[in-house]
Amino acid sequence: MPQLDTWTWLSIDCGSGTSYTAANGIIWQTDDKFIKTGENKQVSIKSYTTLQLLNTLRVFKQQNKNCYTLPVSNTARYFIRATFHYGNYDGLSKPPTFDLEIDGNKWMTVVSSLTDALYYEVIYPSKGDNISVCLARTWDNQFPFISSLEAWPLPDTMYREMNRDLAWLNSYRYNYGATYWIIGYPVDGYNRIWGPATPPGLVNRSKYNGVLYYTTYEYPPDSAILDAVEAPNPVDIITLPFRISKTNSLSYIEVYLTELMVLEINETRSFDFYLDNEFMLTTSPEYQNCTGAVAIVQPLATLTVELRPTSKSTLPPIISAIEISLRVSSGRDLSNNNLHGSIPEFLGNLPNLKLLNLADNDFSGEIPTSIVNNKKLTYKVNENPSLNQHKGKRTAMIIGLAVGIPLVIIFVVAALVYFLARRKPTPDEGQATALELGGTHQGENGSQNLQNESVSVNMSTEPVVMPPELNVHNKPMQEGEDDSVGISARDYKSV
């Protein structure tokens, strides 16, 4: 398992007056050297939680857009996670709605909650020395805020089937069979958050000790793999439906499997993996060997994972964990950035750029012909008073374009399936013992970079909820609760 240097992590407790080291060893910095605007605030006493980073925030009331500048390596992919806990800091009981952007691209619309702490996570490729994370006001008297911001490099060997030039938005990351534990760092050495889930009608299975070997380079934590759910009977099918906010977007799915018991000579566990009723592969999990089955598909509004027992199986299907991420679509939002001068000609020549928003700036001169004549590009230039917007036959179509123009991006429907039967690590390389539990859970959205082909997202997101402090367990999920929504701040705030 690749070892991460946590000294390269950026963990920013927004609004905090002091830096500190959390109980799990993560060093949290104040945000004053990453941004110069905004005001530090504390949540109300009734909203205090045991997780220190949720008790402060930075709010932005002066400018329409305020940006954090994060120093990064220009060759790495990064996990980026932004967290929002309104906590009624202003006493108004009116949580705001605003946009979150990365490098000028819209990542998501944040609809904050009066009671819940929400977070969003993306795998993002850096293409320079800095990544800009901006909060943009979209409604009068609704002021953007942020509670924490994290960025840490992703090892090159992980998530290799994802296109490395694009951003991938984590939608779901479930630890099946766990009832109330949430897993995060240091149990997951890569600082990922795994939420507990037991779908109705399935049976929890757990193994509390033993050694795991891995034939997947994503290295989910042992704690997530040693919990599992299985169908109640050998002939039953496991059906796992997921809501997908963005249609026509590729989805990355990885299912994690292992056998938790030593099978008798007359016992067999074998099942077929289906996605949206399409056969992917047949598998038989191995005892204490974690494998990953990866697929990249283009779902509609829902994605359904099915594990169907084969005719030879004497035991029901079983699953330990799952991850689902969405690839973002193409776009560039440079609106309201106080940009002036001529619009660069190169913007119209970026082959993968589909949406360009230059509105609400102070550009002057003519719209470049590379933009006007690019039939594949939708662009906005309104509210630039010094810009000549009457050039070319397409200009009249541009003025007054609605913000939400739908883009139809047609992909060849493909199911690219890999069964990651990579070389088995030797015991010295691959073994990991079961660790003490602790940690967090997930939702949807993201974006990409300037000067090169850029990526953006305009999908609606299901908010993901922040976890309790690591190594502090939550209350069990109540029957009938929607485990796809996450775990509420109400579950872990101290009173």
DSSP labels for 406-428? ----------EEEE--PPPPPHH
Same domain, 188 and 319: yes
CA 195 – CA 178 distance, rounded (Å): 8
Query: For residue range 333-370, what is the model confidence (pLDDT) as tens digits?
Result: 566 566 778 887 767 776 556 667 787 788 888 888 88
Asked whether residue 183 is assigned to any structural domain, the reply reads yes
Task: Note whether 88 and 196 are same-domain residues.
Answer: no
Structure confidence at residue 337 (pLDDT)? 60
Q: What is the mean pLDDT of the chain?
A: 77
The pTM of this model reads: 0.70
When comparing pLDDT for 62 and 344, which is higher? 62
163 domain-assigned: no
Same structural domain, 63 and 114: yes
CATH code of the domain covering residue 270: 2.60.120
Residue 248: the pLDDT is 59
Give me the domain span that covers residue 299.
169-328+412-433
The region of weakest confidence among 223-227, 384-388, 465-469 is 465-469
Print burial letters for 367-387: b (CB count within 10 Å at least 16), e (below 16): bbebbbebeebbbbbeebeeb
The C-alpha atoms of residue 157 and residue 163 are separated, in whole angstroms, by: 13
Task: State whether 53 and 173 are in the same domain.
Answer: no
127-150 confidence digits (pLDDT tens): 889 999 999 999 999 999 999 999
* Per-residue pLDDT at 5: 66
Residue 106: pLDDT band (50, 70, 90) is confident
Please report, for the domain that includes residue 380, its CATH number: 3.80.10.10
The answer, yes or no, to whether residue 110 has pLDDT greater than 80, is yes
| Residues recorded for the chain | 495
Name the DSSP class of 142: -
* Total number of domains in the chain: 3
> Do 223 and 111 lie in a common domain?
no
Count of beta carbons in the 10 Å neighbourhood of residue 131: 22
Sheet with 271-275: list strands edge to edge. Answer: 238-243, 302-309, 271-275, 278-283
Assign residue 139 the CATH number of its domain.
2.60.120.430
Tell me whether residue 90 is in a domain: yes
Mean pLDDT of 151-176: 93
82 within a domain of the structure (yes/no): yes
